[in-house]
């Protein structure tokens, strides 16, 4: 069939397709332990669910304004101010269908054909593909064994076509939290060169070491060039509700809103009410979930440490481990298939994250499942 050149250049999301594949195996009765999935395994907290139910019962079921319902944009404004020291006006905020949609709308709004976006590897699988879908060129900068970007290298990769750089801290898949001084220095370079800084802060609450850092809070100049991306998916176990949000310069937000109005129209009205309840719900549920992630993180680090096949690196945030692998010369894809085939444990190879020689294991699953997975991996290796 006739397909656009643009779409032909794009790969499907490796994380989502692997997850779907494992779910299909489970449906057929295969005993696979799924460590691919990048979503909390907890149900959405009760008060948030009730807000969604109430929205339906009150017939809050129509289209909303493309940038979101005013109450939710106001709640995001308060959240940014209180928790991130960001002083956005409501017009500088919009609500999207997940943080993924926010990123998609952003690249559609700021990139012309051939514009470059700098992405540090390892990166979340969707960044380069979304840049390509917008006609841009992803420019990948490799990092060392600790997966932390280097300032001098960043400067070297900047060209007159560089439009944006993406920072994701805590980082999926590496689990690293970037040092605030580094983020600050990268921001200064972006200001000087007039490059957009895309700060993906979706894992800000799932952090075990260090503190989240919002570069837009550094100065008015930093705020002007930064797009702060966040959402409720990870923080409130709400991946399927599809609500994200973004703060940024009014003109960029208006452009994104225009694209939203001509594509999906708006985020779901019901989900927006639920997200409003989430942002108003306090920190108790988050702390409970993060404490559970912390316990699992320690378990995973311990077990990875015991196997010579893996060279793990401390996990500082997110719910992912990203160890280096060294097993019979296998590539990350071969090794992942080997684990699936022989141990019935599903993980994601490092390759689609732009870092060969590593695998990503998600510990957004129960300790029982993790225990089962490691017993099987240990037996097979």
> Residues 19 to 48: which contact ligand GLU by CB under 6 A?
38-39
- Which parts of this chain interact with ligand PMP (CB under 6 A)? 38, 98-100, 124, 168, 172, 200, 202, 231, 233, 239, 244
The residue number with the shortest CB distance to ligand PMP is 98
Identify what 125 binds: ligand GLU, ligand PMP, none; CB under 5 to 8 Å per kind.
Answer: ligand GLU
Identify what 13 binds: ligand PMP, ligand GLU, none; CB under 5 to 8 Å per kind.
Answer: ligand GLU
Adjacency order of strands within the sheet including 359-362: 320-321, 359-362, 348-349
Min separation Cβ 235 and ligand GLU, Å: 13
Query: Which residue's CB is nearer to ligand GLU, number 73 or number 147?
Result: 147
Question: Omega of the bond prior to 122 within 30 degrees of 0, cis?
Answer: yes
CA–CA distance, 64 with 69 (Å, rounded to integer)? 6
Indicate the length of the chain as a whole number. 381
Query: Which of 13, 47, 137, 254 touches ligand GLU (CB under 6 A)?
Result: 13
Min separation Cβ 318 and ligand GLU, Å: 9
Identify what 99 binds: ligand PMP, ligand GLU, none; CB under 5 to 8 Å per kind.
Answer: ligand PMP
Interaction mask 171-200, ligand GLU, x per CB under 6 A: -x----------------------------
- The answer to the question of residue 16 lying near ligand GLU (CB under 6 A) is yes
Q: Which stretch binds ligand GLU (CB under 6 A): 8-16, 83-91, 217-225, 287-295?
A: 8-16
Interaction mask 135-174, ligand GLU, x per CB under 6 A: -------------------------------------x--
CA–CA distance, 126 with 11 (Å, rounded to integer)? 9
Min separation Cβ 70 and ligand PMP, Å: 21
Q: Which stretch binds ligand GLU (CB under 6 A): 88-96, 119-127, 146-154, 288-296?
A: 119-127
Query: Which of 125, 274, 315, 343 touches ligand GLU (CB under 6 A)?
Result: 125
CA–CA distance, 295 with 363 (Å, rounded to integer)? 10
Contact 280, 75 (CB under 8 A): yes
Min separation Cβ 175 and ligand GLU, Å: 12
* Residue 139 C-alpha from the chain's centroid: 19
Query: Which residue's CB is nearer to ligand GLU, number 227 or number 364?
Result: 364
Query: Which residue's CB is nearer to ligand GLU, number 35 or number 93?
Result: 35
**CA dist list (Å): 257 to 104, 167, 199, 282, 291:** 12, 23, 19, 29, 37
Min separation Cβ 125 and ligand GLU, Å: 6
CA–CA distance, 191 with 38 (Å, rounded to integer)? 33
Residue 227 is given by DSSP the state E
Nearest 5°: phi and psi at 156? -65, -30
Identify what 316 binds: ligand PMP, ligand GLU, none; CB under 5 to 8 Å per kind.
Answer: none
Query: Which residue's CB is nearer to ligand GLU, number 38 or number 349?
Result: 38
Question: Omega of the bond prior to 251 within 30 degrees of 0, cis?
Answer: no
CA–CA distance, 90 with 113 (Å, rounded to integer)? 31
Min separation Cβ 231 and ligand PMP, Å: 4
Min separation Cβ 124 and ligand PMP, Å: 4
Query: Which residue's CB is nearer to ligand GLU, number 154 or number 203?
Result: 203
Helices (H), the chain: 5-8, 14-27, 46-57, 70-84, 98-110, 126-133, 151-157, 180-193, 220-225, 250-262, 269-279, 284-305, 332-338, 367-380
**CA dist list (Å): 154 to 135, 162, 170, 199:** 22, 11, 19, 16
CA–CA distance, 90 with 78 (Å, rounded to integer)? 9
Torsion angle, CA of 59/65/66/69, rounded to 10 degrees? Answer: -70
6 Rama sector, left if φ>0, alpha if ψ -120 to 50, beta otherwise:
alpha
CA–CA distance, 186 with 74 (Å, rounded to integer)? 30
Q: Which stretch binds ligand GLU (CB under 6 A): 109-117, 120-128, 206-214, 250-258?
A: 120-128
Which residues of this chain interact with ligand GLU, rule CB under 6 A?
A: 13, 15-16, 38-39, 100, 124-126, 172
């Amino acid at each position: 069939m006739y397909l656009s050149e643009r779409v032909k250049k794009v790969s499907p999301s490796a994380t989502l397709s692997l997850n779907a594949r494992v779910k299909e195996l489970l449906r057929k009765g295969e005993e696979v332990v799924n460590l691919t999935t990048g979503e909390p395994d907890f149900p959405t907290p009760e008060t948030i669910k009730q807000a969604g139910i109430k929205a339906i019962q009150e017939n809050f079921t129509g289209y909303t304004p493309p940038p979101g319902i005013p109450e939710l944009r106001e709640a995001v404004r308060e959240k940014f101010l209180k928790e991130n020291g960001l002083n956005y006006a409501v017009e500088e905020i919009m609500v999207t269908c997940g943080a993924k949609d926010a990123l998609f709308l952003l690249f559609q709004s700021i990139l012309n054909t051939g514009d470059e976006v700098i992405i540090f590897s390892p990166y979340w699988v969707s960044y380069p593909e979304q840049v390509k879908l917008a006609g841009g060129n992803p420019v990948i900068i490799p990092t060392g064994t600790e997966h932390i970007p280097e300032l001098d290298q960043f400067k070297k990769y900047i060209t007159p076509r560089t439009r944006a750089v993406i920072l994701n801290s805590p980082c999926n898949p590496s689990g690293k939290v970037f040092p605030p001084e580094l983020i600050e220095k990268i921001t200064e370079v972006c200001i000087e060169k007039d490059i957009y800084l895309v700060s993906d802060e979706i894992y800000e609450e799932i952090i075990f070491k260090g503190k989240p850092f919002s570069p837009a809070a550094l100065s008015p100049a930093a705020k002007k060039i930064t797009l702060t991306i966040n959402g409720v998916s990870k923080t409130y176990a709400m991946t399927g509700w599809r609500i994200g949000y973004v703060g940024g310069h009014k003109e960029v937000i208006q452009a994104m809103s225009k694209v939203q109005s001509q594509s999906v129209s708006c985020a779901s009205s019901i989900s927006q009410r639920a997200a409003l309840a989430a942002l108003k719900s306090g920190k108790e549920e988050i702390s409970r979930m993060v404490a559970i992630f912390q316990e699992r993180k320690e378990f995973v680090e311990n077990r990875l440490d015991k196997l010579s096949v893996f060279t793990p690196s401390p996990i500082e945030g997110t719910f992912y481990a990203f160890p280096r692998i060294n097993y019979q010369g296998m590539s990350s894809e071969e090794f992942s298939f080997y684990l699936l085939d022989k141990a019935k444990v599903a993980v994601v190879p490092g390759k689609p994250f732009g870092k060969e020689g590593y695998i990503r294991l998600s510990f957004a699953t129960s300790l029982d499942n993790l225990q089962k997975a490691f017993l099987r991996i240990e037996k097979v290796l």
